[in-house]
Amino acid sequence: MASDKQASGPVMQLLASGLQLWVRQQCQSVDSLDIDLQGSALGLLRGRLEGVQLLARRAVYQHLPIEQVQLVSSAISVHMGNLLKGQPLQLEQPFQVEGQLSFTAEGLSCLFADSHWQWLADLLTEQLFGTLHLHALRIEAQQLVFVLRGSQPGEQLELRVLVRAAAGTIELVSPAGESLLRLPMDPGITIERAWVDAGMLQLSGQARVSP
């Protein structure tokens, strides 16, 4: 919804609805989605929205289960002509977003089991797990806890890691502070901070969105 005092009126409400639909179309699913617009109807008719604040819960984006998404965008160029004619929203140019993503242990476990993220599971196996296989994932205190199947029947081993941001991506670190692995990252995404809090993996940073 558009809650800014300037972001009111039928044109802004129409854009808010169009953006809601556009965001949902980018995701496999979204449980709840709130959008606040910054700008004015006059600026919008000139093709410019000053920015968007977005809050989504339990979203799945590119097969990535995210418990909560909080984003703020830069100014966005929009094409209102088609929207005013009842056609889908068209965004004109790439724009920047910054914000925070939160992941639960359950969501991360689903990620590792998804075929679209098999490369990540393979990377962790190659770099961290060796010949062992991932059985489960927990989040305890400030750590991710990988539960691995041991070589003996019924045997389970635990690998505990910390997370931090390094060189724009996520780095897994041993409890002693030794760097274990830096994850590959899309060049359009910069991770500025990574940590564990409130039982979830938290990431903050910025990204370039190309419509």
Residues 55 and 144 in one domain: no
Instruction: Check if the beta carbon of residue 73 is closer than 8 Å to that of residue 94.
Output: no
pLDDT score of 208 more than 80: yes
Per-position b or e across 65-85, b if 16+ CB within 10 A of its CB: bbbbbebbbbbbebebeebee
Write down the pLDDT at residue 8. Answer: 54
Residues 83 and 19 in one domain: yes
Q: Measured at the alpha carbon of residue 18, what is the angle toward residues 38 and 89, in degrees to the nearest 5?
A: 105
How far apart are alpha carbons 13 and 7 in whole angstroms? 8
pLDDT score of 74 more than 80: yes
Q: What is the mean pLDDT of residues 138-144?
A: 94
H or E, element range at 132? none
Total domains in the chain come to 2
| pTM for this model (two decimals) | 0.89
Band of pLDDT at residue 109, cut at 50, 70 and 90? very high
* DSSP conformational letter for 126: I
Residues 131 and 193 in one domain: yes
How far apart are alpha carbons 33 and 180 in whole angstroms? 36
Domain holding 136, by residue range, is 105-209
In a domain, 33, yes or no: yes
Write down the pLDDT at residue 13. Answer: 86
Those residues with Cβ within 8 angstroms of residue 207's Cβ, 6 or more apart along the chain or in another chain = 96, 97, 98, 186, 188, 189, 190
